[in-house]
Chain A
Amino acid sequence: MAGNNFFSYISSFTKNGELEMSNGYDIVVCGSLVPDPLQTLEPIMGPQGPGLKNEMMLPAVLDPWAGHALYEADHLAKKTEGSRVFLVSIGPKAKLQQLMMAIGQKASFELIVKDGPASGFTDAADTARVLAEAIESIPGLDKSKLLVFGGCASASRDAGVTMQMVGEKLGITDHFLAVDALEISDSGSLKIKERAESGQYLLSECSAPPALIAWATGNLPEPPNNPQIGMANMRKIMPALQQAGPAGIESAGLSFAEVTIPQQKRDTKIEKDMPVDDIAREIVEWIKG
């Protein structure tokens, strides 16, 4: 349903028949790095299975969907006193260290690192298990305040099911996928706007955490770099990286028959303020040759 007031919700449900007032959330964001999508990415089959050629050499960025989730988490935590934000990342810790210098200035969070592959050629269930175990191990985690955030998709692990499995393993039953907006009502319930089919939205109300929210794009711009946030984050990020244990992703029984990419032809033309119809027309002409 798309209307003027997206939060005139169409469904609502409560936990134990009661509405609860939140005193802050434990927001856990699942997200990691992906190779900068502008790089030339070439999948290869190596002795350890499929991977990206020169993966460790490629510049990495925070997975864009995870980025939306992190910025939404930071925004919500600032509005809700007593909240904590954690970022749980599976990735090569040397690359994660570099990534943290880029995102550590944008949002306040505590980092939990599992040293492992980030190429995307891992089993979604195994990835979900490692993420869930990492979340369970957060000291003092209060599941009654737990909001698990992540991307509804990923630039590298686009199975589209990982977050749901994380939620299931944590015993969270309220899952919201492809979320574009989250609001906290005066009563403390979560009002959620999810993407549905055919350009429509599903508006839901959830009485209280725990909940799993897999973000689509969100509505927040990327925050500016704030050196003071960076300084504060770094006191916890570096020890977390140094203490990072192995992810233990084995993907036993998983086999890949082949990894290939389609033939590409690049022909970049940078246009600004060009009507979409004209862009579409030009692309069609280009494809026709």
Chain B
Amino acid sequence: MSDERQTMQVDIVCVGFGPSTAGFLHTLNKSINDENGMPVLQSQAVPGMPLQVMCYERADDISFGVSGIVTEAKAIKESLSAEELSQIPMATSVKNEEIFYLLDSTGASRRSGAVKFTDKLLNMMAKDGAYRLPVIPGFLNKHNGMIFSMGQFMQWVGAQIMGAGLIQVWPAMPVDSALIENQSVKGVRLADQGVDKNGKPDAGYMPGMDVQAALTVVGDGPVGPVGQQLNRHFGMPEGNHLRDWAVGMKAVVELPENSALKEGTVIHTLGFPEPEIFGFMYGLPDNKASLGIFVPSWFENPARNVYRYFQHWMQHPKMQVYLKDATLTSWGAKSLQEDGLRGEPLLVGDGFARIGEGSGCTNILSNSGVDEAWKSGVLLAEGVISLLKNNEPFTKENLERAYVGPRRKSWIHTDNIKAKGARDGFQSGFVKGMIGMGTAGISGGKFKYNETVKRPHEGVNSYEEYFKGIITPSDLESIKKEAFSKGTNLYDAIMDKAGWPKIQHDNKLFVSHQDALLLGGKVQANAGYADHVVFTDEAICKACGEKRCVDMCSGQAIIPGENGVPEFDREKCVHCGACLWNCTRANKENPEESNIQFKAGSGGLHSAEN
């Protein structure tokens, strides 16, 4: 194997194959050739050839997505005909929407006085431990929308894009970084292969190729390494930041026959297992359901293990109405960037454009991101086609005019202006957050709290503070000692002590965390890549008392280390990226970042059903 770094010239290189890149490539694909197959968009990189477009995706397949999607599908329906939509597996239309407030069925949920009062009030009208909200606020309504499996949607769109033979989408090929020269992006560098865990050349070393391109389209999601690199290099616009996050853990289950959950039904929950945790369940075709919970960064519990909470949520009497005798068939997790418009980076520069969730297009009021991501890709494609047809280069000015201008006029931007700051109230707690969301939604964004959003590591309680009055300091100390001596996590012992019932595995719906990890598909990373989770300053880790990175890791890939520095096992990592913002210690050089780096890495494919 050659140690020399190879280079390749293309016209457009895309980083990451998510819904925004899919929208971009699907739109571009239709304009490369005319109906007679003659090139309309010519290659500058390879003269005489059609436009050369390449997309690199980190996961082992293009069906990696982790999300049950309920969406108005405004943009997706503009791009795809009704006939095309009908071909997408595991997709259906929204027929019924319900929101349930779940009462505490265990006695272990940590509830404020206001929440306890609400519980008492609603208990009188509750059935199966849940109160059904009489109306669904308009801003949350997905009437006439669609329910998708992200994996199946991406797999189907990917096949349409590649079937024409003009665009190549390469899975299992993580992009290490953007090639930046004189403040201009000139393409990307693919990750080195044949290296040890620290990135040093090892057996079969093959330096990652430099893919030079006139335009680099960055759609690598909220924790993508190239997006992070551009944020660091060019800085975030004044007042913008990446501070509000959530981890979404979801699964697909096979429901028993005659299940109470019908195809097309959308259920949202709040109130349990903790007031800060929200849940969803969507009825898919063929007696399947997509379900999951969201754990936000403003939830102060340092022992916030999402999988354990997910199991308690599924055990709630209301959820059991639908899930009794159900079987878990796949599982996954991902980080959600919840700053909305405040998380918008520089959208364009010389030679690059940002699309998708990492470009700040998610609507945090309507809880909608996939349709917005798709639309951002479509808008960029339309701008790129226009520039190519006019032989105009991909300069910052041209991309501002061709892409950013239309994006500012589109509904993804105008709706996001209304949503901006709608969740600020959660900085002061669940009740204030719900009031803030409600008033922002009903008033069309006119009335909001507009609070300063804390950096994720600033809102962290210690175990002692959070469990004060629930677990004694001496009990906490002995739990910590035992966990550290055994090299295990803390959350199970702490949640047991806090009164949460133990999870009884039934080998169907309730399985061990490691069983869930393997249930979904090929998570394991390919051999020969460096660790993509890196603990920046080991001294900071040694002094850290929480080690929340261990307790929240969605794949149990971060475990306690012998010398106080956690160890990372990349073969278990599902690439949710939650460690990046769950670390409770600030980076010494940049307080907007934590002491954990999330770099380019291989693996993390989830089930295609997800």
**Interface positions of A (Cβ within 8 A of B):** 36, 38-40, 54, 56-59, 61, 94, 97-98, 101-102, 105, 221-222, 224-228, 230-231, 234, 238-239, 242, 264-270
Contacts and interface: CB of A to CB of B under 8 A. Distances in A.
B165 A102 contact: no
Contacts of B155: 57, 98
B135 interface: no
Contact of A101 (B6, B62, B518): B62
Contact of B329 (A40, A98, A101): A40
Given A59-B61, A234-B168, A221 B204 contact: yes
A226 B190 CA distance: 10
B518 A59 contact: no
Contacts of B159: 94, 97-98
Q: What 9 A-B pairs come out closest when comparing CB atoms? A: A238-B165, A268-B514, A224-B193, A59-B608, A268-B515, A266-B515, A227-B209, A224-B206, A36-B521
Interface in B501-548: 507, 511-512, 514-515, 517-522, 526-528
Contacts of A98: 61-63, 155, 158-159
Interface string B220-256: 0000000000000000000000000000000000000
A36 B520 CA distance: 10
A107 to B, nearest CB: 14
29 contacts: A36-B522, A38-B520, A40-B329, A40-B330, A40-B519, A61-B522, A97-B163, A98-B61, A98-B159, A101-B62, A101-B171, A102-B60, A102-B171, A102-B172, A105-B173, A224-B1, A224-B193, A225-B172, A226-B206, A227-B6, A227-B170, A227-B190, A228-B8, A238-B165, A242-B165, A265-B507, A266-B511, A266-B518, A268-B512
Contacts of B609: 54, 57
Nearest to A99: B61
Given A102-B61, A268-B515, A227 B211 contact: yes
A203 B609 CA distance: 46
Contacts of B527: 221-222
B70 interface: no
A94 B54 CA distance: 20
B302 to A, nearest CB: 25
Interface string B20-51: 00000000000000000000000000000000
A121 to B, nearest CB: 20
B162 interface: yes
Contacts of A56: 89
A105 B208 CA distance: 13
B584 interface: no
A246 to B, nearest CB: 18
A93 to B, nearest CB: 10
A224 B170 contact: no
Given A224-B194, A224-B528, 12 more contacts: A38-B521, A57-B609, A59-B522, A98-B159, A102-B171, A105-B173, A224-B1, A227-B6, A227-B8, A227-B54, A227-B170, A230-B168
